[in-house]
Amino acid sequence: MAEAEAKVHGEKLYDVHFHEVGATDSIVDIVAFSICLDYLKIDKIISSYINTGRGFVKCEHGILPVPAPATAEILKGVPMYSDERELELTTPTGAAIIKAVSDEFKMECPIVIKSVGYGAGKGKQKNQMY
């Protein structure tokens, strides 16, 4: 993220000042995702193409196009698209996380539900879907 921010702001890497991406919620997102990924011991991550959204977003630098310049920079080389929704669907933080952890990107990533659990109890799952 720092490299992308430096590039879009024309600054040196160590002169970058994080605004929105340095906010507490972004740091929590990265740390929480990292902890979960480690805890779940995921072997491989396959992502769909990234839907960035479209339109414009208001941020500390004013009104920017979607995807925001830092997001677009981070997603270089990653297949992406935008549908009809006029909003930001991919932030720089989200883009950096998915690019860093994905082993491959596929346009069609069907989801098949194998099991569903409800509540925070400790018994066997009673509700299952296949």
> What does the pLDDT look like over 100-110, one tens digit per residue?
999 999 987 67
| Residues of the chain where predicted confidence (pLDDT) is lower than 50 | 130
Q: Is residue 119 part of a domain?
A: no
Q: What is the pLDDT of residue 98?
A: 95
Q: Is residue 125 part of a domain?
A: no
Q: Is residue 92 part of a domain?
A: yes
pTM of this structure: 0.70
Q: How far apart are CA 55 and CA 80, in angstroms?
A: 15
Q: Is residue 31 part of a domain?
A: yes
Q: Is residue 61 part of a domain?
A: yes
Residue 87: domain span: 2-106
Q: Is residue 121 part of a domain?
A: no
Q: Is residue 52 part of a domain?
A: yes
Report the number of distinct structural domains present in the chain: 1
Task: Enter the tokens of residue 18.
Answer: 């994080």
Q: What is the pLDDT of residue 127?
A: 54
Q: Is residue 118 part of a domain?
A: no
Q: What is the pLDDT of residue 130?
A: 46
What are the φ and ψ backbone dihedral angles of 109, each rounded to 5 degrees?
-125, 80
